[in-house]
């Protein structure tokens, strides 16, 4: 199996219908209707505590909604998620990847070559033998992306993957996100970085106070934001 040649078929549309999330009487996500379709790059923006991660975890299936339902138009596609702080095994970078391939039942004889290929693609070939947990933040993030790459996901969720990284590492992660996009993966990603959203997003989903206030094409969002909160956020005046 040569991973680079696989293009996901048309990706099932995902609908969140009246999805809400409550915890101990707190309404953390108010009833929300959102759809994700095609292989768009959707960047979820909004101030701290707006509910961005919650929405993404609900969409990915890591959290169960308190109400409403999530529906796929067609078979649910393969999904992967990359977190702000990747959880890596206490093994070498290479072994973190061969492990994923073993779980996927890739024949043993093919695992090393595929893992090395992914390390190479994400600029980590020289670090193959290094313990994953001593890699720098940016290297760990790229390893998490390489691991996701091996799953060949149709939908990739990323929760603030660049928030703790320097500019060069941010660029490396953004290049990786674009590599996924170019192979036809739907991207759903949270960020606080307005410049990053301008660079990466096809559309922006803006949240505030547990509500989705807007889901617009990127240019539209920045030129004519649909709410006073979004305008204030773009001006850097909306703190929470
Ligand atoms: N699993 C959970 N159980 C209970 N409360 C939660 C859970 N996840 C998030 N929350 C709460 O929900 C609110 C929204 O959290 P969320 O992490 O979605 O915000 P966010 O928009 O991603 O913020 P930030 O930009 O600071 O990461 C917060 O008040 C948080 O404490």
Query: Per-residue pLDDT for 115 more than 70?
Result: yes
Going through the chain in order, the beta strands assigned E by DSSP cover: 13-23, 26-36, 41-45, 67-73, 79-82, 155-159, 186-190, 203-208, 211-217
pLDDT digits (tens, 9 = 90+) for 122-154: 999 999 999 999 999 899 999 999 999 999 999
Question: Is 205 close to ligand 1, i.e. is its CB under 6 Å away?
Answer: no
pLDDT digits (tens, 9 = 90+) for 172-212: 899 999 999 999 999 999 999 999 999 999 999 999 999 99
> Considering the chain, what is the average pLDDT of its residues?
92
Question: Is 41 close to ligand 1, i.e. is its CB under 6 Å away?
Answer: no
Domain boundaries, the chain: 11-88+135-234, 89-134
Question: Is 235 close to ligand 1, i.e. is its CB under 6 Å away?
Answer: no
Query: Which residue's CA is the closest to the ligand 1 atom numbered 16?
Result: 51
Domain 11-88+135-234 has CATH 3.30.70.1350: no
CA 73 to chain centre: 20
Quickly count: other Cβ atoms within 10 Å of residue 73's Cβ: 11
Predicted-assembly ipTM surpassing the 0.90 threshold: yes
């Amino acid at each position: 199996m040569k991973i680079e040649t696989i293009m996901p078929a048309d990706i099932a549309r995902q609908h969140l219908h009246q999805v809400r999330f409550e915890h101990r009487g707190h309404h953390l996500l108010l009833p929300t209707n959102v759809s994700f379709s095609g292989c768009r790059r959707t960047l979820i923006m909004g101030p701290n505590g707006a509910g961005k991660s919650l929405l993404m975890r609900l969409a990915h299936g890591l959290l169960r909604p308190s109400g409403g339902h999530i529906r796929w138009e067609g078979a649910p596609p393969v999904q992967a998620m990359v977190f702000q702080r990747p959880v890596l095994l206490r093994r070498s970078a290479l072994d973190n990847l061969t492990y994923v391939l073993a779980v996927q039942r890739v024949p043993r004889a093919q695992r090393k070559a595929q893992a090395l290929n992914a390390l190479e693609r994400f600029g980590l070939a020289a670090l193959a033998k290094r313990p994953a947990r001593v890699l720098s933040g940016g290297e760990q993030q790229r390893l998490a992306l390489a691991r996701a790459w091996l799953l060949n996901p149709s939908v990739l969720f990323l929760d603030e993957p660049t928030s703790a990284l320097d500019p060069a590492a941010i660029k490396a992660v953004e290049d990786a996100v674009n590599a996924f996009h170019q192979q036809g993966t739907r991207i759903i990603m949270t960020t606080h970085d307005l410049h990053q959203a301008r660079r990466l997003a096809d559309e922006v989903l803006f949240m505030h106070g547990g509500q989705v206030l807007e889901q617009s094409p990127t240019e539209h969002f920045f030129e004519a934001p649909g709410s006073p909160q979004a305008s204030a956020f773009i001006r850097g005046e909306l703190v929470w």
